[in-house]
Structure 1
Amino acid sequence: MHNDDPFERARQAQASAIARRRRRAKARPSTAAAVPWRGSPTQRQGRAAETRAGRYLEARGLRLVARNLGCKAGEIDLVVLDGPVLVFVEVRARRDAAFGGAAASVNRGKQARLIQAARYVLPQLARRHFKGRVPACRFDVVSLESGEIDWIRNAFTE
Structure 2
Amino acid sequence: MFVMPRTLIICVRAFQGITAAASIALTAYVVNWHLRGRHLSTPPSINFLLFCPIFTLASVFYIELMQRFAPKATRPILSLGIEAINCIIYFSGFIAVAICLGDLAFCNGSVCMAGRGAAVLAAVQFSLWMFSAILAAKEIFQGGGRQIKLPGRGRGTRDVEL
Common fold: TM-score over 0.5: no
> Of Structure 1 and Structure 2, which has the larger fraction of its residues in helix?
2
Structure 1 or 2: more strand by fraction? 1
Q: Report the TM-score when normalising by structure 1.
A: 0.29
Q: Kindly indicate whether structure 1 or structure 2 has the higher relative contact order, using CA contacts under 8 Å at least 6 residues apart.
A: 2
